[in-house]
Structure 1
């Protein structure tokens, strides 16, 4: 498979390494090579089977507009852009592109989302209140993280409301920690996912690209993770 990776940051580079380990042909574009999406011409983009984006909230929309407009298949690992999600879905539908997006491509985090729903269901009638804490590296642009927002949405789907406090921290080179906290009158229960490496994010993104290469349409990673 021919993969185009947009973004040469820590995660983007790791995605390229994992993709090569999987036997795929990989081309990486960094921000200087793709200023304002200038490199994403029709002939260039259509030379790849799937495009994976790990850039920034500012760049990803430009990249999606260029790639989806020519019917490309895209896996989006960038977060902080979901106010434009409806527009990007509509563009993909109009131009025959395929879009797979998600706030976190770690399989472990996806399991945490499922556990969070069970955790909340088990405790919601026992007087507990729920909050979320997350910690990431200092260069992460969006706060709270997309993962924390998805975790909140999973809890909210059980509680029936979104009044769930999220506390975000940015520390050093932290790969990412998310904790769902249930606080009762006399105790607290914590459900935590702590990343010790970015490799699970990269592995998940490459597996998502492999899956998307044989499918068409628009997908949330949460909805397809069990099919990978």
Structure 2
């Protein structure tokens, strides 16, 4: 099968590509919703083609024309809250997925049921090459990542405000929510150890978090799972 000229690796493009990737990396700091694109495109830095260069240029052009905004507000320390959103996408054929999480450091005026997205303080998005039988297991591993990262966010909050925030973990996977309630990894028994660890981390000996199930349209982290071409 003949490879098209646009798909052929061309290392002469590497200096330009690295420069543009650096620009996108800075954009991620203030426009976190771009993170999936940065994750994907930076992972291809050693196999650059004309088509890949075009993809990178299109992302940067779109950011220039329609920039995302990052809104930060002052908060009432007496009702300090840390919302952790976790989500994932799942590839049925490859049994792999893309996992994502977001942390919002807010107060009681922040509304889960509205479109509030102010005070997004950190987020993550990555493709996993671990094989799963079910999408629920992929969601579980994504939640583990978001919860583990929350210790750093909580520490920052304590250093800033002198108190620990109340933690609320938000998910849109009802099967995973039910597994946390029951303590049993029904969809994939080999994940029982991961579920036990997750329950330990969100329990009283860990973050002492409240776990909330919401409909998909209220899942803020969904936007970080959509760029899933690679």
- TM above 0.5, one fold? no
Name the structure where strand makes up a greater proportion of residues: 1
TM-score normalised by length of structure 2: 0.27
Query: Which has the larger Rg?
Result: 2
